[in-house]
Amino acid sequence: MAVVIRMARAGAKKQPHFRIVAADKRSSRDGKFLEKLGTYDPRLKKDDPKRVTLNVERIEFWLKNGAVPSERVARFLGAAKIRPVPERRNNPEKAKPKTKAQERLKAKEEKAKAAAEAAAAPAPAVTPAGGPSPDAPAQG
């Protein structure tokens, strides 16, 4: 049986409260679990000691017997110095703009480049009213 240490949601609507439990991987999130190992109350302040409570002895027992913590629980265990803090996953490819956004960005850059070229080009000389253009060849 594959055992995981994960959070099971409890509490009323819009008032989340989580149990940290050891459960069979195949059981539902809030369903049957093997043992309650702690609690997590996200509504409390981050520095409140009751925000995350852990039964360290039982967690170590389950970890020694092959239980795998979920990502969030692994961070809690790292903060409690039970395990090393896991590295956060980062996928820079996912943050890149999609094809349509890239096309819009390219069109915007081309438009800005054309405007810059137009601004850099010398403006035609303005002729005084009724007089010849300073660039015009002298007629004699």
Sheet holding 17-24, edge to edge: 52-54, 35-40, 17-24, 3-10, 68-69
Q: How many other CB atoms sit within 10 Å of the CB of residue 81?
A: 9
Confidence at residue 90, expressed as pLDDT on a 0 to 100 scale: 82
Residue 111 located in a structural domain? no
Q: With a cut of 70, say whether residue 40 has pLDDT above it.
A: yes
Rounded Cα distance between 47 and 53, Å, is: 12
Q: Note down the domain range covering 9.
A: 3-79
- Is residue 91 a part of any domain in this protein? no
Residue 123 maps to a domain: no
- For 58-83, the pLDDT digits (tens) are 999 999 999 999 999 999 999 999 88
Instruction: Compute, in degrees rounded to 10, the torsion defined by CA atoms 73, 79, 85, 89.
Output: 60
91 pLDDT band (50/70/90 cuts)?
confident
CA distances in angstroms from 104 to 54, 100, 112, listed in the order given: 50, 6, 12
Residue 38 lies in a domain: yes
Q: If pLDDT is split at 50, 70 and 90, which confidence band does 85 have?
A: confident
Report the CATH number that the domain containing residue 39 is assigned in CATH: 3.30.1320.10
Number of CB atoms found within 10 A of residue 134's CB: 9
* pLDDT tens digits, one per residue of 102-139: 899 999 999 998 888 888 877 666 666 666 666 666 66
Whether 42 is covered by a domain: the verdict is: yes
Look at residue 41 and tell me if it is in a domain.
yes
Looking at the domain assignment, is residue 65 inside a domain? Answer: yes
Neighbours of 139 (CB within 10 A): 5
Structural domains counted in the chain: 1
